[in-house]
C-alpha cells in the first residue's frame, strides 16, 4: 500500500477502544492508507518521534486511570524532561471513550491531548469524547468526528488519482487465512494448550498456570438474590507469589452448549484442525492459539461468542451476506442512521453474537472461516481481587465471585461468561483446572507496623481487605479498621465468623452497615459520618491510610462526600480546604481506590 503511514494506538480495558481502533484501521485501508493498529504498551514509544500521523484511542477506567495496556506508555509520555519539540513533526488526533456518569469523564483522553500538544504535536481536531451514557453510545460523538478526521487526512495526504475509496459493501481481505488439515494430527488436541502446570517463569497471559480448583462454595444464603462463591485454588509449584492488593486474572471459556450451537449455525466441524496464516507480514498470529488448532479449541477457548457485538460486527456480516433480505437489515443496523435500532435490538437487551447469528441464519451459514477472527473478538481475561494472604493460606489463592445473572426483555437470562463458567465447575466431581496468573493491583499497604488502615469494602469489595487483614495480622500490624456493608446480616455477611474472631483477639475494629434491616437504608458512608471523630483522629493525627473497594458507580462519590463532610465538621476546614485535604491524601497515596463497573 502507498504511504503515508497511519498509526493507530489504543489503550483498552474491556475491548471497546481496541474495536474502535480496528474500525479506524479498516476505514484507513478503504482510503488506501497503510495502517498499523497496536496496543500502546506493545509499541516502542521512543519511535513516536518518527511518526507523521497518529490516532490515539483511549478509554478511561476506574477513577480517571489509564487502561492496563497503556500504563507504561502513560508513565513515559509524562516524564518531565521530555523536550517540548519531541513530537513537532507529528499530526495527531485523540479519540476518548468514557462514561459521563463518572466524575473523571474521559480524563485520560483529555490529559493525553494536552500532553501531546505540550510535546509539539499538531492536533488535527479537538479531542473526541465518546460517551457510553449517550442513548446511541460512543458512536454519537464518534461518527461526525471521524467524518471530519478523514476529511483532514484527505487534504493532508491526497489519494493517488489512479485509486478510489473501496466502498463499504465490499469486504476487505481477512487478517488471517485458515488452512484446514485433511486429517487430525496427533498434536491438534486440548493437550496442546499454551497453559502449563509446571512453568519455569512466573505465569503470565501468554503462559497461564493451570491451577487446580480446591473448593467452590456458595457463601450467600439460599434465599439471597445473588449467588456469591468463595473459590480456592492450589498454586503449589506455580511460581506465583502475591501480596495484599494484588489481582488474579482468569481466562474463562465458553459453555459446551454454546460451542455446539455456534458450530451448527456456521456449519463448522468442531473436530477439524487448521493452521493460521497472517495475510500481512507484520501481523502476528494470536499467541493464545496453538498451531495446529482445532475448531473446538478456537470456539471454546478463544472466540467470545457470547459477547454483545459492536457495530463493526454488523458491518462485516453485511459484507459477507448472500441473502438480500438479511443483508439489507444488517446494512441498516450498521449505518449511522440505524444506531437507535441497533441499540434497541442488541445493546440494551444485551443480545450476544451467537444469538445474532441465529437471527441471520443464511448469513451465518455463509461466513468464510477466514473471517472468524475479524468478526468475533477474543475472550478477555477477567480480573478478581485476591481475597487471601499467603501468610495465612500458604500455596492457596482465594477469590470472592459474584455470579452475574440478570434478566432483560430476552427470554434467556443474561449470564456473565467468567463467573458462570467458574460457578459451573465442581472440584468434588473430579479434577478441575483453571488458567490464571497474577499481577499487581491498584492497592498498596503501608510497610510500617504502627500506621493504621481504614478499609471501606461493601459487598464483594471486601475481598482485597480480607487479604490485607490476614497479611497485617500475620505481621503483627495493629490499627485495622474495616467498614463492611451488605443487605442482610444472615444472607450476605461475608466472613462474619472470621471478623468476629479477629475482633475478640483485638486485631480488628469492625463497623457494619446492613442496608435492608431497617426502614431507612444505611450504607458504609453513613457509618463513616457517625464515626467522624474517629476517622478524623486516624487520618489527621495518626497518619492512617484510607482504602475503598467496590462498585464504581455511586459509592466512591458518596464516600468521598462523607469524608469531606468529616474534614469540615471535625477538622474545622472550609469546603475548598476539605476538598484540597482529600486531594492531598489521594496524591500521597493515603487514599486509594479499587473499583469496578
Give per-residue pLDDT as tens, 265-285. Answer: 999 999 999 999 998 877 888
Could you tell me what percent of the chain has a pLDDT over 70?
Answer: 96
Whole-prediction pTM: 0.87
Beta bridge pairs of residue 6: 35
Give the largest Cα separation in the chain, rounded: 82
Position 327 confidence tier, pLDDT thresholds 50, 70, 90: very high
Average of per-residue pLDDT values in the chain: 90
**Predicted local confidence at residue 211, as pLDDT:** 96
Predicted pLDDT of residue 196: 52
Mean pLDDT for the stretch of residues 327-334: 94
Give the pLDDT score at 62: 67
What average pLDDT does range 109-136 have in this prediction? 93
39-51 tens-digit pLDDT:
998 899 999 999 9
Residue 101: its pLDDT value, please?
A: 75
| Whole-number pLDDT of residue 191 | 43
pLDDT above 90: residue 201: no
Band (349; pLDDT cuts 50, 70, 90):
very high
DSSP-derived secondary structure for 355-419: HHHHHSHHHHHT--GGGHHHHSPBPPPEEEEB---TTTSTTEEEEEEEPPEE--SSSSPEE-HHH
Over residues 506-519, the mean pLDDT reads 86
Residue 102 has pLDDT above 90, yes or no: no
pLDDT at 4: 56
| 490 compared with 171, residue with greater pLDDT | 171
Q: What average pLDDT score do residues 469-476 get?
A: 94
Q: How many CB atoms lie within 10 A of CB 284?
A: 7
**Phi, psi angles (nearest 5°) of residue 417:** -60, -55
Instruction: Give the pLDDT of residue 595.
Output: 81
pLDDT at 88 over 50: yes
Mean pLDDT, range 310-321, rounded to an integer: 92
Amino acid at each position: 500500500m502507498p504511504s503515508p503511514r497511519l498509526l493507530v494506538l489504543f489503550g483498552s480495558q474491556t475491548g471497546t477502544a481496541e474495536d474502535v481502533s480496528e474500525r479506524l484501521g479498516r476505514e484507513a485501508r478503504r482510503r488506501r492508507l497503510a495502517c498499523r493498529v497496536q496496543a500502546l504498551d506493545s509499541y516502542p514509544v521512543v519511535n513516536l518521534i518518527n511518526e507523521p500521523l497518529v490516532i490515539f484511542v483511549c478509554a478511561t477506567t476506574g477513577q480517571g486511570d489509564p487502561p492496563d495496556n497503556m500504563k507504561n506508555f502513560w508513565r513515559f509520555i509524562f516524564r518531565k524532561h521530555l523536550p517540548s519539540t519531541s513530537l513537532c513533526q507529528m499530526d495527531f488526533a485523540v479519540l476518548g471513550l468514557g462514561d459521563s456518569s463518572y466524575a473523571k469523564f474521559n480524563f485520560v483522553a483529555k490529559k493525553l491531548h494536552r500532553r501531546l500538544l505540550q510535546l509539539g504535536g499538531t492536533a488535527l481536531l479537538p479531542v473526541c469524547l465518546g460517551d457510553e451514557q449517550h442513548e446511541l453510545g460512543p458512536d454519537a460523538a464518534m461518527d461526525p468526528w471521524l467524518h471530519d478526521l478523514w476529511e483532514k487526512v484527505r487534504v493532508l495526504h491526497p489519494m493517488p488519482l489512479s485509486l478510489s475509496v473501496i466502498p463499504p459493501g465490499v469486504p476487505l481481505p481477512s487478517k488471517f487465512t485458515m488452512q484446514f488439515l485433511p486429517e487430525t494430527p496427533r498434536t491438534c488436541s486440548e493437550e496442546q494448550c499454551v497453559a502449563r502446570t509446571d512453568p519455569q517463569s512466573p505465569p503470565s497471559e501468554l503462559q497461564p498456570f493451570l491451577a487446580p480448583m480446591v473448593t467452590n462454595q456458595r457463601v450467600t444464603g439460599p434465599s439471597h438474590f445473588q449467588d456469591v462463591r468463595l473459590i480456592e485454588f492450589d498454586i503449589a509449584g506455580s511460581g506465583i507469589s502475591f501480596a495484599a492488593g494484588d489481582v488474579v486474572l482468569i481466562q474463562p471459556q465458553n459453555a459446551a452448549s454454546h460451542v455446539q450451537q455456534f458450530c451448527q449455525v456456521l456449519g463448522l466441524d468442531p473436530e477439524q484442525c487448521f493452521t493460521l496464516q497472517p495475510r500481512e507480514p507484520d501481523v502476528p498470529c494470536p499467541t493464545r492459539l496453538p498451531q495446529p488448532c482445532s475448531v473446538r479449541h478456537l470456539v471454546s477457548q478463544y472466540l467470545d461468542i457470547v459477547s454483545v457485538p459492536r457495530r463493526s460486527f454488523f458491518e462485516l456480516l453485511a459484507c459477507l451476506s448472500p441473502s438480500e433480505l438479511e443483508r439489507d437489515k444488517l446494512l441498516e443496523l450498521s449505518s449511522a442512521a440505524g444506531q437507535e435500532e441497533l441499540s434497541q435490538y442488541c445493546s440494551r437487551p444485551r443480545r450476544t453474537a451467537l444469538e445474532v447469528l441465529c437471527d441471520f441464519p443464511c448469513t451465518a451459514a455463509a461466513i468464510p472461516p477466514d473471517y472468524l477472527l475479524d468478526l468475533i473478538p477474543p475472550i478477555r481475561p477477567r480480573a478478581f481481587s485476591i481475597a487471601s494472604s499467603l501468610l495465612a493460606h500458604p500455596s492457596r489463592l482465594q477469590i470472592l465471585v459474584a455470579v452475574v445473572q440478570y434478566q432483560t426483555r430476552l427470554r434467556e437470562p443474561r449470564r456473565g461468561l467468567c463467573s458462570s463458567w467458574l460457578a459451573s465447575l465442581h472440584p468434588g466431581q473430579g479434577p478441575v483446572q483453571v488458567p490464571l496468573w497474577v499481577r499487581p493491583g491498584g492497592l498498596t499497604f503501608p510497610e510500617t507496623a504502627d500506621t493504621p488502615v481504614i478499609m471501606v469494602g461493601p459487598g464483594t469489595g471486601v475481598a482485597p481487605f480480607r487479604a490485607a487483614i490476614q497479611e497485617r495480622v500475620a505481621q503483627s500490624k495493629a490499627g485495622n479498621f474495616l467498614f463492611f456493608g451488605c443487605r442482610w446480616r444472615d444472607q450476605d455477611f461475608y466472613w462474619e465468623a472470621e471478623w468476629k474472631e479477629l475482633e475478640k483477639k483485638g486485631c480488628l475494629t469492625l463497623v457494619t452497615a446492613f442496608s435492608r434491616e431497617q426502614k431507612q437504608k444505611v450504607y458504609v458512608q453513613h457509618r463513616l459520618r457517625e464515626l467522624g471523630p474517629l476517622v478524623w483522629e486516624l487520618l489527621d493525627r495518626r497518619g492512617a491510610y484510607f482504602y475503598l473497594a467496590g462498585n464504581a458507580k455511586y459509592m466512591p462519590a458518596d464516600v468521598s462526600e462523607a469524608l469531606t463532610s468529616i474534614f469540615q465538621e471535625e477538622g474545622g476546614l472550609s469546603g475548598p480546604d476539605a476538598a484540597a485535604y482529600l486531594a492531598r491524601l489521594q496524591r500521597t497515596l493515603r487514599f486509594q481506590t479499587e473499583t469496578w463497573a
